[in-house]
């Protein structure tokens, strides 16, 4: 099990975004934490099982003093904003060695962003700006096989499917599917420290979307079609 908590309070004396200069009331406060429970075990049949559950949150709020002149009078406005995010999720991964040359990995992950809350208003004088409350969910499935052709030549491939669902939107963001294959030649029979790998990205040349972006920006994203990559690395 792993967990953490962090918080900070920061003054803003530099008059950023037009707020009052060197006013101690200009402050940001941020805090966040998470708990991650993980289990991993390799059984006698060489099946490795990894399962994890996690939960976390992030909270931020700000207080800003805006000052404007109205003739000879100084008008002061207290502006406040806040954001709160809470999530939980899990992952299950199975890894199995087969026929001495294959390492097969199958897994899935799910994350529920069950609270995504942002709001903003002016406290004095009171003026409501917005109060946005929504939820979303992200899931992924993946499959990978690593095949040792020779001791120093490895072939690997994976298929990944990701999707993001936001029940507050009428149109859903399309999912992302990727197929990638690569081969890797180690340094045993080459120059010492030299590694060479080649890969094919998006093998089936499938159009995909970014699960982290709303639908209306999908057409603005640069999408990689099928492409071939060669990597040469040298480590002394």
Please state the pTM of the whole predicted model. 0.67
Q: How many domains does the chain have?
A: 1
Does 21 reside within a domain?
no
In the chain, DSSP assigns E strands to 2-11, 27-42, 47-70, 73-98, 102-124, 126-150, 153-165, 176-185, 194-201, 227-234
On whether residue 29 sits in a domain, the answer given is no
Tokens of 34: 């998470």
pLDDT tens sequence for the chain (236 residues): 999 999 999 998 888 888 889 899 999 999 999 999 999 999 988 899 999 999 999 999 999 998 888 788 888 889 999 999 999 999 999 999 888 888 889 999 999 999 999 999 998 778 888 899 989 898 888 888 887 776 666 666 666 665 655 544 433 333 444 445 555 554 444 566 677 777 776 666 666 555 445 554 545 555 566 777 777 777 77
Question: Is residue 14, in this structure, part of any structural domain at all?
Answer: no
Is 230 part of a structural domain of the chain?
yes
Strand partners of residue 112: 88, 137
Range of the domain at 173: 38-234
CA 98 to chain centre: 32
Instruction: Establish if 80 belongs to a structural domain.
Output: yes
Residues with Cβ within 8 Å of residue 153, at least 6 apart in sequence:
183, 184, 185, 186
Residue from 70, 76, 61 nearest 19 by CA:
76
Residue 24 is assigned to a structural domain of this protein? no
Beta strand 2-11 with 176-185 is unpaired
Query: Is 12 within a domain?
Result: no
Domain assignment present for residue 139? The answer is yes
């Amino acid at each position: 099990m792993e967990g953490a908590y962090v918080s900070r309070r920061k003054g803003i004396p530099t008059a950023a975004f037009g707020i009052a200069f060197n006013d101690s009331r200009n402050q940001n406060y941020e805090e966040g934490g998470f708990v991650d429970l993980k289990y991993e075990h390799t059984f006698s049949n060489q099946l490795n099982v990894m399962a994890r559950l996690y939960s976390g949150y992030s909270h931020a709020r700000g207080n800003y003093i805006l000052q404007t002149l109205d003739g000879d009078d100084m008008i002061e406005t207290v502006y406040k904003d806040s954001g709160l995010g809470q999530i939980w999720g899990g992952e299950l991964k199975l890894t199995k060695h087969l026929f001495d040359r294959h390492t097969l990995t199958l897994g899935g992950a799910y994350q529920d962003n069950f609270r995504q809350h942002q709001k903003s208003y002016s406290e004095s004088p009171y003026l409501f700006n917005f109060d946005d409350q929504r939820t979303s969910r992200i899931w992924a499935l993946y499959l990978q096989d690593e095949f040792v052709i020779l001791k120093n030549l490895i072939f690997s491939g994976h298929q990944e499917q990701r999707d993001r669902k936001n029940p507050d939107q009428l149109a859903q963001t399309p999912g992302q599917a990727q197929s990638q294959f690569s081969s890797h030649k180690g340094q045993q029979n080459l120059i010492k420290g030299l590694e060479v790998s080649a890969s094919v990205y998006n093998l089936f040349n499938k159009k995909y979307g970014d699960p982290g972006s709303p639908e209306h920006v999908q057409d603005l994203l640069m999408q990689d079609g099928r492409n071939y990559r060669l990597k040469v690395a040298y480590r002394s």
